[in-house]
Structure 1
Amino acid sequence: TLFVGDESTPFAFRSQAGNNAIIHIGTHAEANNLHPEYSRLIFAKDPQHVSDSNSVFLFDIYNYDLKSDLTVLTACETGRPGFNDGEGMISMAHAFSYAGSESILTGLWKIDEKASCQITDIFYKNLEEGMTKDVALQKAKLTYLASARGRTLNPQYWAGLVIMGDTSPVKISRDHTMLYVWIAIGVAIVMFAGFLLFRRRTKTRQKVAAPLLSA
């Protein structure tokens, strides 16, 4: 099931994510260092459930049933841990593992969207060929590096994606491979549009504030 843009709501995630062998989430994420249980995934606002937040918090995910062979979290810092009294180090990746995902592909720091899309695209194609998840990711990174140029060769662009959990192969079809590629592309477009809107609003505020500052 594919949810892109306004369709990618918390309700859609809660109701559909547990029904899939592979869960791919490419939305924005925020890590909360002081209170890691409030780290969150940010989805689109649901017009049919106006009282709902557009966020899914880490403590929510611990209570979901998300059994799957693989969860792919290309959102920023989903693998970055925080300390919780009584639990130790927790993260989005840990929460998805607790909720039932056998393995997680996650990011340890803020990931370049274009690079992560390229790597996950190749990763899925490698899985389609029957590779184990760890080998599929390793070869995806090597393929990415073979064509990368300039600053995109820096480990900051590609080394943050890691596999956690069961690394055994997972069966996917060619049609499913292209579906995941379109998920990544669709989310990247939505996030870029949001960035442009944020920058436009920031510039507008600066113009309004300028006379006050000069006075």
Structure 2
Amino acid sequence: MVFLLKTRQGSSFLSVMGLFCIMSLVLLPDIHPFISSYPSEDESFFHRAAPCIPLERSYFLSPGTDELITKYMNQCHELEQVSAKEPCKSIYEAFTAVCAQEESLINTINRSDYSNTEKNDYTSRLSRFYAIALKVSYEAKDIPRIYHYMEQSKFLRGPAKSAVSMPMKLEQLQRELLKMKQQYLSYFEDGDCIYALLVSGTNIVCKKIDFPGYRDTVQHFAALCADRQLLNAQYGSYAHTANILYQKLFAPMDIQPGSILVSPGEHFIPFDALTIDREGHDFLLYHFAISYTHSATGQFRIADRLTIGDNDFLGIAPECYAPEVALPRLFGAVQSLQKIEDCFAAPKILSRKTASRKAFLESMGNCSVLHIYSHAGLHSAQPILFLHDNPVYMKDIDLTKKKRLQLVFLAGCETAVAGSGDGPDSYSMADRFVYAGIPSAVATLWQVENKVVYAVSESFYRLLKMGVPRNKALQQAKIEFVKQGIKANQMPYYWASIVLFGNTGPITPAPVKQDLLSFAAILNISLCAFSRRFCI
């Protein structure tokens, strides 16, 4: 079942009131819920039960609530069977009873006396609650609430876990997407059931996808993508799996070609490596500029002040390492940075011995664009970056003081891979930057080949200099690499690992100083006068 929602457009009226209505629709587009005989927007249990579920903050289920929810959900199913004519009404009534009878359903996670184990347990309980709430909202065709609960569920995996604010309103999200000419695609996983929500400036599509074996399928797909030899040996299996995922997750959502912002579920996969055809040749890469985000709320609340100007680029390339670090040399890293620095006015490069731990920590707060060619990985579930003389753990970097940093390109291995711990311990290196408010981060999902990341990086910055938006610059840089003429370059192992998180707009040049503009204007006037004086 698919629900479609479109922004209504006013028609011409001769009266002043009619003109006022048209202006209201244009300036403040209204999002109308799916039309249904029950419940109406005002009668929804979400309004009646509002005092029992304060949605303005992040809350967690109290102990013993699971049994209560299970009891009432069983009653929901019974009521559905008895009252087949009004299944939505029966579910709403049953779920309202849950909210009304258990006022202590939710407790804040901010309680200082909670241990990490208790907080994780409450997180798990709340996740199950959201799964139930999504089921109820979907059956009731309440799209605004589907969006709301999907956004709330994203906070459980992010840093806002301890201080969640109200999700961005659906109407506001549509206005932002219309302005950015983007579409937002969000997923919520509930076992073999997946809820998918597509939001654009004028359209909303919601779908419940039954996908038996979903987790095994995405894990198999990810394993093939990340292993060059396995992918080469089993490319037929890859093509089949990539097309199945496309048919299930992407094709039914009425997505228009262009820019798409994806908020994944629990399992992250590179969507541009999915294939429209069954032979594994027509990648989504060719049709969509795909970027990723933690949530729509976080995406559009981060200010983007990125400009290219003096001292706005910092390139890091240890290339060779001190004997005590004992890591292989990254041949060609410095040469690649030298090509990239031509895209900036006055870049700063730390290479070889100058790319020390101390120099890195002192310099990274003074740039807007940070590009790192270095070995990276996870050590004791913590993201770690290797400089020439010593490693740097992400916990050693105070990103709250890096206000100028707007774009970071983490061109090491697995810089987008999350750790195995709980809470902050599970954040990837890219997560740390994005969660700290850095507008954009480019990172990798698995080990990358040096020649690939060099080529894609160089094309990426060249395109940015031309004014191409970040998501499209990365898309085109990948396509350029794929179409270099070497057939092996088409394998997703090489290019699909590199992904963009966060803001996607173009990087604009820094404004010319006013005194220079005045001088240019005076010079131009003088030249014009001179040419007129001596013109025959």
Common fold: TM-score over 0.5: yes
Q: Secondary structure of the residue that 2:505 maps to in structure 1?
A: coil
Name the counterpart of 2:357: 10
Residue 169 of structure 1 corresponds to which residue in structure 2?
506
Unaligned runs of at least 5 residues, structure 2: 1-347, 511-536
SS in 1 for 2:420: strand
Could you tell me how far 1:172 is from its partner in structure 2?
Answer: 5.5
Query: What is the identity, as a one-letter code, of the residue corresponding to 1:28?
Result: H
**Cα drift, residue 36 of structure 1:** 2.0
Q: Distance in 1 between matches of 2:351 and 2:496?
A: 26
Aligned to 2:381: 36
Q: Give CA-to-partner distance per residue, 1:109-140, whole Å, 9 cap, x none.
A: 10101011001100001111111111100011
Give the alignment partner of residue 61 of structure 1, picking from 397, 402, 411.
397
Amino acid in the other structure paired with 1:73: L
**Structure 1 residues 72 and 55 mapped into 2: Cα distance closer, same or farther (>3 Å)?**
same
Where does structure 1 lack aligned partners over 5 or more consecutive residues? 46-53, 174-215
Aligned residue among 125, 135, 138 for 2:475 = 138
Whether the aligned pair in 1 keeps the contact of 2:481 and 2:489 (CA below 8 Å) is: no
Question: In the aligned structure 1, how far is the partner of 2:377 from the partner of 2:481?
Answer: 26
Partner AA of 1:108 in structure 2:
L
The 3 A distance-change label for structure 1 pair 114 and 101 is same
Q: Which amino acid in the other structure matches residue 41 of structure 1?
A: L
Q: Which has the higher contact order (CA 8 A, sep 6+)?
A: 1
Partner Cα separation in structure 2 for residue 88 and residue 5 of structure 1 = 30
Quote how far apart the aligned CAs of 1:62 are: 5.1
Whether the 8 Å contact between 2:385 and 2:393 is mirrored in structure 1 is yes
1:198 is matched with none
| TM-score, structure 2 as length reference | 0.29
C-alpha contact (below 8 Å) 2:483/2:489 kept by paired residues? no
Q: Percent identity?
A: 31
Aligned with 1:156: secondary structure? helix
Distance 2:451 2:388 in 1: 21
* Alignment of 1:27 onto 2:374: yes
- Tell me, what secondary structure is at the counterpart of 1:76? coil
Matches within 5 A, 1:181-196: none
Q: Contact 1:61/1:96 (CA < 8 Å) preserved in 2?
A: no
State the one-letter code of the partner of 1:18: G
Shift of 1:90: 0.5
SS in 2 for 1:3: strand
Secondary structure of the corresponding residue to residue 349 of structure 2: coil
Q: For residues 12 and 171 of structure 1, do their structure 2 counterparts lie closer, same or farther at Cα, with a shift above 3 Å needed?
A: farther
* RMSD between aligned residues: 1.9
**SS of 2:426's equivalent?**
strand
Cα gap change, 1:125 to 1:29, in 2 (>3 Å): same
The yes-or-no answer on 1:104 pairing with 2:438 is no
The count of corresponding residues between Structure 1 and Structure 2 is 162
Aligned AA (1:36): A
Partner of 1:73: 410
Say whether residues 1:122 and 2:477 are aligned partners: no
Aligned 8 A contact 1:25 1:74 in 2: yes
Question: Are 1:157 and 2:494 counterparts?
Answer: yes
Can you list the C-alpha shifts for 1:12-35, whole angstroms capped at 9, x where unaligned? 111011111100011111223xx3
Q: What is the letter of the counterpart of residue 478 of structure 2?
A: K
In structure 2, the CA distance between the partners of 1:150 and 1:171, relative to structure 1 (3 Å rule), is same
Query: Deviation at 1:154?
Result: 1.4
Mapped to 1, the partners of 2:485 and 2:393 lie a distance apart of 35
Cα pair 2:361 2:397 within 8 Å, conserved: no
Kept in 1, the 8 Å contact 2:439–2:503? The answer is yes
Runs of 4+ in 1 over 6 A off after TM superposition: none
Query: Separation in 2 of the partners of 1:151 and 1:83?
Result: 33
**What are the superposed Cα offsets for residues 176-202 of structure 1, whole Å, 9 maximum, x if unpaired?**
xxxxxxxxxxxxxxxxxxxxxxxxxxx
The answer to whether the Cα contact below 8 Å between 2:483 and 2:490 also exists between their aligned partners in 1 is: no
